[in-house]
Amino acid sequence: MVSCKSFEQVQQILRKAKQELSDILQAVEFMDENSMYNTLTQLGFKNPFGDNKLYPFYCLVEVASSREGPENAERLYDLLGASEDLIIVREIIHSMNHLYRTEL
Q: Can you list the domains of the chain with their CATH numbers?
A: 2-103 (3.30.70.2190)
Backbone angles phi, psi at 56, to 5 degrees: -60, -35
pLDDT score for 44: 84
97 — pLDDT class (breaks 50, 70, 90): very low
With DSSP H G I counted as helix, E B as strand and the rest as coil, what are the percentages for the chain, rounded to 5? 35, 30, 35
Higher pLDDT: 16 or 90? It is 16
Report if pTM > 0.85: no
- How far is 50 from 1, CA to CA, in rounded Å? 13
Q: What are the tens digits of pLDDT across the range 33-90?
A: 999 999 889 988 888 777 778 899 998 888 887 776 677 777 877 777 755 445 554 4
CA distance 104 to 91: 8
